[in-house]
């Protein structure tokens, strides 16, 4: 015997188990925008090495303003790709690190960044 609401729950689960990035109403669309933004890519790939503080990220990413970096970090934290840890000992020390989901995304983005850097001569006209 099927429990009341079981069909509805199964349909909802199936619908949201995997997104459809080609569908305009899919919640994966904003996530894709955040993951593939210029600053988002660079932050995620840098965090693959280790957690970083805001100032470290700002100095490593040439050309990013503090405002854009702050906005990018807030977005990535909100999306669940990055964690924001506030240290409790001594002066305030905020550190950003990848979540498990962020790790998976960053690994894929790192491959793209590596490919792009390796193929610059073929991509940019002389």
The CATH number covering residue 39 comes to 1.10.10.10
pLDDT of residue 6 exceeding 80: no
Q: How far apart, in whole angstroms, are the C-alpha atoms of residue 46 and residue 31? A: 19
User: Is residue 13 one of the residues assigned to a domain?
Assistant: no
Asked if residues 25 and 86 have their Cβ atoms less than 8 Å apart, the reply is no
User: Is residue 115 one of the residues assigned to a domain?
Assistant: yes
Instruction: Kindly indicate the confidence band of residue 86, based on its pLDDT and cuts at 50, 70 and 90.
Output: very high
CA 21 to chain centre: 16
pLDDT of residue 8 exceeding 80: no
Q: How far apart, in whole angstroms, are the C-alpha atoms of residue 53 and residue 40? A: 15
**What is the reported pTM?**
0.81
User: How many domains does one find in the chain?
Assistant: 1
Per residue in 14-33, pLDDT (tens digit) is 656 778 888 888 888 888 88
Identify the CA nearest to 71 among candidates 95, 54, 47, 59.
Answer: 54
Per residue in 90-100, pLDDT (tens digit) is 788 899 999 99
Most confident range, picked from 37-51, 75-89, 110-124: 37-51
Per residue in 38-58, pLDDT (tens digit) is 999 999 999 999 999 999 999
User: Is residue 6 one of the residues assigned to a domain?
Assistant: no
User: Is residue 82 one of the residues assigned to a domain?
Assistant: yes
């Amino acid at each position: 015997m099927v429990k009341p609401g079981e069909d509805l729950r199964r349909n909802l689960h199936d619908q949201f188990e995997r997104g459809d990035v080609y569908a305009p109403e899919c919640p994966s669309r904003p996530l894709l925008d955040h993951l593939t933004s210029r600053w988002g890519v660079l932050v995620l790939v840098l965090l693959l090495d280790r957690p970083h503080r805001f100032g470290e990220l700002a100095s490593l990413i040439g050309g990013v303003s503090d405002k854009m970096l702050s906005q990018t970090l807030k977005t990535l934290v909100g999306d669940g790709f990055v964690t924001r840890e506030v240290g409790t000992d001594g002066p305030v020390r905020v550190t950003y690190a990848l979540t498990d989901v962020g790790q998976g995304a960053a690994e894929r983005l790192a491959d793209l960044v590596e490919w792009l850097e390796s193929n610059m001569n073929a991509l940019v006209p002389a």
